[in-house]
Structure 1
Amino acid sequence: MSTVRGFSALALLAALLLTGCGSAGNYDLPAEPKPGGGDTGTVKDCATLFSTRVQPRLDYCRTCHVPGGLGDVPDGRLFQLGGDRAQDAARLKASWEALGGAASTPSRILRMASGTDTRSHSGGAPWPTGSAAYVEMAALLQGYVDPAACQLGGGGGSVEEQPLLGSARGGHYWDDFCEGKSDETPLPGDPRARVIPGFNAGKAVLMNAWWASCQADDQPANCGEQRARVARGFPIVASDGEIGAGSMFSGDHASSSFSFSAERYNTLWDQVMGLPARPDNFDQLMAERWGMPLSATRNPYPLPGEDPNASDGGSGQLPVGLTQLREADGRWTGQLNATCSICHGGQVGSVADGPGLGPLYGTNSQSDITVMFTDLGRIAPQQAALSVISQNKVRGTGNITNFQLFGTLTLFDDSADNLLGLLRYLSVQTQPSTGTEDPPVWWNVGHRPAKFFDGGQVMSSKRIELSFHFPDAVTPNNQAGRDWILEHQQDSDAWISSLKAPVWPAAKLGAIDTALAEQGAILFHAKDLWGSGLNNPVPRPEGGNGSCASCHGAYSPRYVHDPAFLEDPVMEGIAAYITPIEIIGTDPRRLDGNSQLVADYARYNWFAYADGPFADNGAPLCGDWNDSALRGSRKLGYLAPPLYGVWATAPYFHNGAVPTVWQVLKPEDRPAIWRRLSTPARADQEGQVVMGYDASLERGYDATHLGWNHETLSCGTAGTVPYLDCNPNDGGQSVQDVLGLIWGNGGLAWNLLNLPILSNAQIEDRKVYNTAMYSQSKAGHEFTAVLTDAERRALIEYLKTL
């Protein structure tokens, strides 16, 4: 007994020393409290210490350490709580005793929660050594031996913890800030602009994708100006028949050399579909054929015999990839043109399924732009060139995000010497093609400091966002076209950045299991995937806490307000870590294609800000950030994207190689060859028409695994083209391997080496995703193989809340 009392006295003395020379007031904590920190309330007995300081923090433990929770495993059952908080005091003491009681000091309860135990704790380190949470729990546990140990001083009341669940749902901080405020309210700075070298250093969330400002007028003065920018940007980018709608290489002009008449569009049922008569569902069939849903807003065109100005644009409804041009006074022209939505328009469910669902701006994964331009080329030869330059091999993907293609738009305008500009352009065509890519969603733009999958440009590089609407592309000395982009770039970017992710449609896909989602929130932010005993074979990132949040950013209010994760809560959801390729391990062709030679070429490109601003070494700050002159020692890799609305963004990886989140988290379950389900054709049209992917929630969506329902195919199945799309089992070279060598050494070869699309069967084959093809590997993100299936289910439930 004397030994225990002596130890108790020493523990009490240590606790008093932590208060600063024995004064009753202040723990010697860091200036920025560690996780689990907070002011220590004045307590004189163990019961008060428990109720005001310890029990509120036990709710974090209760999330997993309950029957059926993630902590309900043989080892974890030594520390168990329950749903009845009245039993917490007794259960905590019983757990302390089960873990060794006074004979184990510090208790394993403290070692696990502080991250100092030899075993990995899936809940991370919520009570770091020296934090108020640690000191107070240590005092309580010692109080089981000597109640005097519970006498702690300080100023403050009971602990109040932030909730585990909550989401901004993407968009931009300014739009959220201005909600309910007057137009005159001044705007704060853009949180992304704080992501510069040294920011957030040493914290759980990693950042290495630095911000740079590319033009002086990036920030509006107040909420009124911000709202005006968003309103003006909508027609320019959404382009659904509004006055001022943007269209392909035509700005917002009422005429275009690329436009074609609605009269010609009305012949596609004959010229392309080969049907005996114009079907009554012609509009829907064109949307299905191209994988571009009919616009959610009115996007009209005149039917045969209609005057568009006598019928408010016409009785027809266009898919999101087309718009009817209009005069400045609103008069309709009857001329149609393509828009940004051919690549950035998609669909998840229907409008009736819930807020933000149905046809969507800024997401895709289902259009076939090659089929669209091939079809249009038959009725409008001026559209045929795009069936070459914007090729994709698989429906729902594209090859549109490389300077090899951007350079085409300014082919004779990259230098005063047009011949020199042409030679530079030809030189980069010797570099690998970037291959198959699935465009990133726009509702996360406002939380990214960098754009493109590889962080290839800073987000403030806004010119490229209007590149498809660039007036008079490939025209020498095209100052008028450049001026149009400079005039509209702030408005278009403001609208794109304002978009929000759709909310999980609980009424259609089932209510979220809140208890399981909270466990997932803890795992997402706190589980170290390289923790002790996990033996993760993938190299560990240099920094961060090894969790999902370490790369993808923090979302849970509990962690967003934790200074161990973020320097400021306004940084919620900002993902600014370009994960080195040796860690992320996904298909490298995007990186191969954006080579140093391409970066050298970009220094002379107007879309890459060849006119400045410049770094100290002369490289354009807003150019290609894979340029060694800009990225410095940062390794090449892929930007871990923000995960708002991730449930609605399948398939996954930058090349769209993985159909569901479950398969992202469990690599061994990924199919090698697969195909999404298609919408069933109407009975009287079956076998005569091409239908698009089924985007319905009832039949097309997999709510359990988060992604699209799909069928797994075998090599040799119709559409997979044996020995072309499949590698032979004997280890010999296939035609696919030979083509890979060509595509790997010639950028535009990917766009040019294609058989003409002449039949519906060929279009159907383009729905097959074969991961053996060039640029379509399903490899990568292998570090999540260390998760258990129970942990994967919890993470998936949490991701539904974002």
Structure 2
Amino acid sequence: MRLFYRVLLMLLVALGALIGLILYFTVHPKLPEYSAPQQLHYLDQWSAVDRQIYYFTPQGTQVKGLRYDWFTALELPFSEQSFAAPDYLARFGFLVEPQQKASATNPGNLPVGFTRHQNPGSHIEYLDITCAACHTGELRYKGQALRVDGAPAQHVLPSSVPTLQGGSFGQALVASLAATYYNPWKFERFARTVLGDNYEQQHKQLRAEFKVSLDNFLAVAWNDTHRGLYPTLEGPGRTDAFGRIANASFGDAITPDNYRVANAPVDYPHLWDMWTFDWVQWNASAKQPMARNIGEALGVGATLNFFDSHGQPLQGDARYPSSVRVHDLHLIEETLQRLKPPVWPEALFGQIDRPLAAKGRALFAQNCAACHVPPVKDEDGRLVQQLRVIPLAVIGTDPNSANNIADNRYDVSALQWDPAELANLNVNLVPASDEPLNLHSLSVAKGLAYITAFVEKHAYVQAGIDPQEQARLNGYGLPIAVQEVRAYKARPLEGIWATAPFLHNGSVPTLYQLLSPQSERDETFYRGSFEYDPRHLGYRTEAFDGGFVLDTRISGNHNSGHEFRAGPLGNGVIGRLLQPEERWALLEYLKVLGGPLEQQLPPL
């Protein structure tokens, strides 16, 4: 009996500690303060119309069933301040404008990439977070801000798991949702704002529907926490994209046996010229634009149903209904094809030292061009850059992302796929193989290829799109090709100065450090600042309140590889040691690479 009470006491203490931890970070979220810049500048990357299309065109994501008007009506847990206020959301790293006001495309006055959509036949407007939220950057210098469209974001979006670091948008959102539901005075204010004149008739219904969404968030937070699915904290500007998509698609939606530890956060890649690449994703695992975008939408929360209301797997043409919006995804893709790489703004960040940049041009040709200037091939009138894909044994960077994609296997047999049906889908496995697929042990790349093929096919049928138009929307008539390689791709470097931090996992803060031996790179540094260093080409890394400490000694965060240092090539050494003056010359050239300023460089 005494043992029982001891165990009970220990459980109560543990529960009390957990509640205390949640309350602490609810009251004291570890967030940087937001200070609006004196002025926000835009580059001449595309038109203002294109920018608005990109920022606010929905993809079909639903964020656990959270509705747009619910989100805009939320308050902070212990005050009546609006959760969706631009100045508050900016503290998570989301992008707003100084003195931002609501507009026709952004009626909720939300940050870049926060929009809304209605599903066919429904009047409900869901909160829809689009690719612009993760692929729009901003650089601050001397009180000025430079918006870089298509650059990686620096927000803290993904996790709703309580951590000692705090500071996650997901954590804060769940706290506000829970406070709204369980605090009767707060819920009354919320309900009157949302329902207006319909308050009396729909109050009870709203409370029930709101609880469903809250329970979805809490279930994910509990599942991710007690299973320890995300041991490597992501922090600003990073997410384990493949790991989260796989856990949602194979674990949440099929069987808990499919959950896998996701310990490979990656930075959000920059998007200009992406449509010219032969392979995309950090590990060069995907090809077709529409399938890539559907996969991204599913990862951010688009609905996906594998089973009917009786728990039976959907069959034939019923596979697989989703909230993804193929017309809008194609509109975003077309818009991104007009996006130009950013041009170094001399008025903001300083004049180019042209003689030094000319020396850097020669050094680039000697040390960088072999990997980062790919050959170009004409494919049916489309000029395609054939990117070099570099094995882990050569590049030597953190292997987790590439290895997880190559090694993790999932049981999808519950979906009852027919091999003959799979053979008729628009999917190419590279390299081709005559071996039958093992549906009890399928890789994430192959599994997602077939899932997106089914989703894509169903979405096209529902939208009434004929096969010829489907080929156009897919992008250049490409199939859903996938490959699994233990490697990372080397991409062209136009505009690379605006895409810090560096390497696929964002473990190197500046381009200067990337050109340096690993021994000269920061072992730990702060992420989350927008303050730019135009000399070293990266974000500033000093400590600041609310900053996230990235520790490169942790698995998934390693800053090894891509080294220029003395010694034999391979195992992460890709070139000779570059002297400091050579690194400075290379940086000066990388500021102008591919842009109009490059044409002004003097000959050596």
TM-score of the pair, normalised by structure 2:
0.59
**What is the rounded CA distance, in whole Å, between the counterparts of 2:301 and 2:424 in structure 1?**
17
Correspondence for 1:768:
549
**What is the rounded CA distance, in whole Å, between the counterparts of 2:137 and 2:355 in structure 1?**
32
Correspondence for 1:639:
489
The answer as to 2:89 corresponding to 1:286 is yes
**What is the rounded CA distance, in whole Å, between the counterparts of 1:671 and 1:566 in structure 2?**
36
Q: Is the 8 A contact 1:408 1:474 kept in 2?
A: no
Go from structure 1 to structure 2 and tell me whether the alpha carbon gap of 1:626 and 1:280 turns closer, same or farther (over 3 Å shift). closer
The answer as to 2:196 corresponding to 1:405 is no
1:439 to 263, 268, 271: 268
Q: Is the 8 A contact 2:83 2:89 kept in 1?
A: no
Go from structure 1 to structure 2 and tell me whether the alpha carbon gap of 1:458 and 1:293 turns closer, same or farther (over 3 Å shift). same
**What is the rounded CA distance, in whole Å, between the counterparts of 1:337 and 1:791 in structure 2?**
46
Which secondary structure does the structure 2 equivalent of 1:674 belong to? strand
Go from structure 1 to structure 2 and tell me whether the alpha carbon gap of 1:662 and 1:521 turns closer, same or farther (over 3 Å shift). same
The answer as to 2:293 corresponding to 1:466 is no
1:490 to 312, 330, 343: 330
2:498 to 634, 648, 652: 648
Go from structure 1 to structure 2 and tell me whether the alpha carbon gap of 1:637 and 1:386 turns closer, same or farther (over 3 Å shift). same
Q: Could you give the per-residue CA deviations for residues 163-182 of structure 1, whole angstroms, max 9, x where no partner exists?
A: xxxxxx999xxx9xxxxxxx
Amino acid at match of 1:611: L
Q: Could you give the per-residue CA deviations for residues 429-474 of structure 1, whole angstroms, max 9, x where no partner exists?
A: 45x5342211111124124221211112225443324334674324
The answer as to 2:582 corresponding to 1:801 is no
**What is the rounded CA distance, in whole Å, between the counterparts of 1:438 and 1:402 in structure 2?**
12
Q: Is the 8 A contact 1:402 1:434 kept in 2?
A: no
The answer as to 2:112 corresponding to 1:320 is yes
The answer as to 2:49 corresponding to 1:246 is no
Give 1:314-353 correspondences, 5 Å limit: 317-325=109-117, 336-349=127-140
Q: Is the 8 A contact 1:170 1:446 kept in 2?
A: no
**What is the rounded CA distance, in whole Å, between the counterparts of 1:292 and 1:246 in structure 2?**
18
Go from structure 1 to structure 2 and tell me whether the alpha carbon gap of 1:400 and 1:769 turns closer, same or farther (over 3 Å shift). closer
**What is the rounded CA distance, in whole Å, between the counterparts of 1:587 and 1:784 in structure 2?**
18
The answer as to 2:541 corresponding to 1:710 is yes
Amino acid at match of 1:494: E
**What is the rounded CA distance, in whole Å, between the counterparts of 1:297 and 1:571 in structure 2?**
43
**What is the rounded CA distance, in whole Å, between the counterparts of 1:483 and 1:437 in structure 2?**
26
**How far 1:238 sits from its partner (Å)?**
3.1
Amino acid at match of 2:264: G
**What is the rounded CA distance, in whole Å, between the counterparts of 2:277 and 2:394 in structure 1?**
20
Superposition CA RMSD, Å: 4.9
Go from structure 1 to structure 2 and tell me whether the alpha carbon gap of 1:510 and 1:314 turns closer, same or farther (over 3 Å shift). closer
Go from structure 1 to structure 2 and tell me whether the alpha carbon gap of 1:484 and 1:774 turns closer, same or farther (over 3 Å shift). closer
2:65 to 258, 277, 290: 258
**What is the rounded CA distance, in whole Å, between the counterparts of 2:128 and 2:281 in structure 1?**
26
Amino acid at match of 1:284: D
Correspondence for 2:559:
778
**What is the rounded CA distance, in whole Å, between the counterparts of 2:541 and 2:98 in structure 1?**
26
**How far 1:499 sits from its partner (Å)?**
2.3
Give 1:27-42 correspondences, 5 Å limit: none
**How far 1:509 sits from its partner (Å)?**
0.9
Correspondence for 2:36:
none
Correspondence for 1:502:
342
Give 1:25-64 correspondences, 5 Å limit: none
Q: Is the 8 A contact 2:59 2:324 kept in 1?
A: no
The answer as to 2:374 corresponding to 1:551 is no
Go from structure 1 to structure 2 and tell me whether the alpha carbon gap of 1:285 and 1:399 turns closer, same or farther (over 3 Å shift). closer
**What is the rounded CA distance, in whole Å, between the counterparts of 2:411 and 2:239 in structure 1?**
21
**How far 1:674 sits from its partner (Å)?**
1.0
Correspondence for 1:611:
425
Q: Could you give the per-residue CA deviations for residues 695-718 of structure 1, whole angstroms, max 9, x where no partner exists?
A: 2xxxx11111111111279xxxxx
Amino acid at match of 1:642: P
Correspondence for 1:675:
526
Correspondence for 1:31:
none
Correspondence for 1:745:
none
Give 1:58-77 correspondences, 5 Å limit: none
Percentage of matched positions with identical amino acids: 21
Q: Is the 8 A contact 1:348 1:360 kept in 2?
A: no
Q: Is the 8 A contact 1:521 1:795 kept in 2?
A: yes
Q: Is the 8 A contact 2:154 2:237 kept in 1?
A: yes
Amino acid at match of 2:94: M
Correspondence for 2:402:
591
Q: Which runs of 5+ in 2 are unaligned?
A: 1-42, 160-167, 178-212, 308-313, 438-442, 450-480, 564-573, 594-604
Correspondence for 1:581:
392
Which secondary structure does the structure 1 equivalent of 2:550 belong to? strand
**What is the rounded CA distance, in whole Å, between the counterparts of 1:472 and 1:655 in structure 2?**
28
**How far 1:794 sits from its partner (Å)?**
1.1
Q: Could you give the per-residue CA deviations for residues 222-278 of structure 1, whole angstroms, max 9, x where no partner exists?
A: xxxxx9xx989974x632xxxx6334248xxxxxx7123546644433x1xx45x63
Correspondence for 1:512:
352
**How far 1:631 sits from its partner (Å)?**
9.0
**What is the rounded CA distance, in whole Å, between the counterparts of 1:398 and 1:605 in structure 2?**
37
2:579 to 775, 788, 797: 788
Correspondence for 1:367:
156
Which secondary structure does the structure 2 equivalent of 1:323 belong to? strand
Amino acid at match of 1:373: G
Q: Could you give the per-residue CA deviations for residues 50-85 of structure 1, whole angstroms, max 9, x where no partner exists?
A: xxxxxxxxxxxxxxxxxxxxxxxxxxxxxxxxxxxx
**What is the rounded CA distance, in whole Å, between the counterparts of 1:798 and 1:334 in structure 2?**
48
**What is the rounded CA distance, in whole Å, between the counterparts of 1:359 and 1:671 in structure 2?**
25
**What is the rounded CA distance, in whole Å, between the counterparts of 1:404 and 1:284 in structure 2?**
29
Aligned residues: 434
Go from structure 1 to structure 2 and tell me whether the alpha carbon gap of 1:440 and 1:362 turns closer, same or farther (over 3 Å shift). same
**How far 1:405 sits from its partner (Å)?**
2.4
**What is the rounded CA distance, in whole Å, between the counterparts of 2:153 and 2:557 in structure 1?**
17
Amino acid at match of 1:672: E
Moved more, 781-790 or 649-658: 781-790
**What is the rounded CA distance, in whole Å, between the counterparts of 2:152 and 2:101 in structure 1?**
19
Go from structure 1 to structure 2 and tell me whether the alpha carbon gap of 1:553 and 1:373 turns closer, same or farther (over 3 Å shift). same
Go from structure 1 to structure 2 and tell me whether the alpha carbon gap of 1:362 and 1:552 turns closer, same or farther (over 3 Å shift). same
Q: Could you give the per-residue CA deviations for residues 762-789 of structure 1, whole angstroms, max 9, x where no partner exists?
A: xx36x11111112101111113451111
Go from structure 1 to structure 2 and tell me whether the alpha carbon gap of 1:780 and 1:657 turns closer, same or farther (over 3 Å shift). same
Q: Could you give the per-residue CA deviations for residues 133-152 of structure 1, whole angstroms, max 9, x where no partner exists?
A: xxxxxxxxxxxxxxxxxxxx
Go from structure 1 to structure 2 and tell me whether the alpha carbon gap of 1:376 and 1:784 turns closer, same or farther (over 3 Å shift). same
Go from structure 1 to structure 2 and tell me whether the alpha carbon gap of 1:573 and 1:792 turns closer, same or farther (over 3 Å shift). farther
Go from structure 1 to structure 2 and tell me whether the alpha carbon gap of 1:519 and 1:297 turns closer, same or farther (over 3 Å shift). farther
Q: Is the 8 A contact 2:406 2:485 kept in 1?
A: no
Amino acid at match of 2:400: R
Amino acid at match of 1:673: T
